[in-house]
Amino acid sequence: MSLQEFEKKNLTERERGLIRMRSIMDYGMGILWLAMGIFMIFIKQFNTGLEARFDDATMKAFGAICIFYGSFRIYRGYKKNYLKER
């Protein structure tokens, strides 16, 4: 939903606030998931001790999944399709 569509719809102030809050939450959680994915992929450079406990391929696979999910959360925050009719 673009900004023009967001303004054209007849939404109450409560609904606008809900959409704004959820969008900000999606952006924030998306950034956190992206950061976790990057951390998991480059874990050997951070020297945390976790790289000895887990397989390198497992950490990279989990990191890729985290990056994918973080990207999805950011996209969902950008689209703002929260109150559409089902």
Residue 41 lies in a domain: yes
Burial of 18 (0-12, 13-18, 19+ CB in 10 A): middle
Residue 84 lies in a domain: no
Instruction: Give, as one character, the DSSP assignment of residue 11.
Output: -
The residue range of the domain holding 75 is: 3-79
Residue 39 lies in a domain: yes
pLDDT digits (tens, 9 = 90+) for 20-62: 899 999 999 999 999 999 999 998 888 887 777 888 888 899 9
Residue 21 lies in a domain: yes
Total domains in the chain come to 1
Higher pLDDT, 81 or 69: 69
Residue 30 lies in a domain: yes
Q: Tell me what percent of the residues of the chain surpass a pLDDT of 90.
A: 44
> What's the CA gap between 62 and 32, in Å, rounded?
14
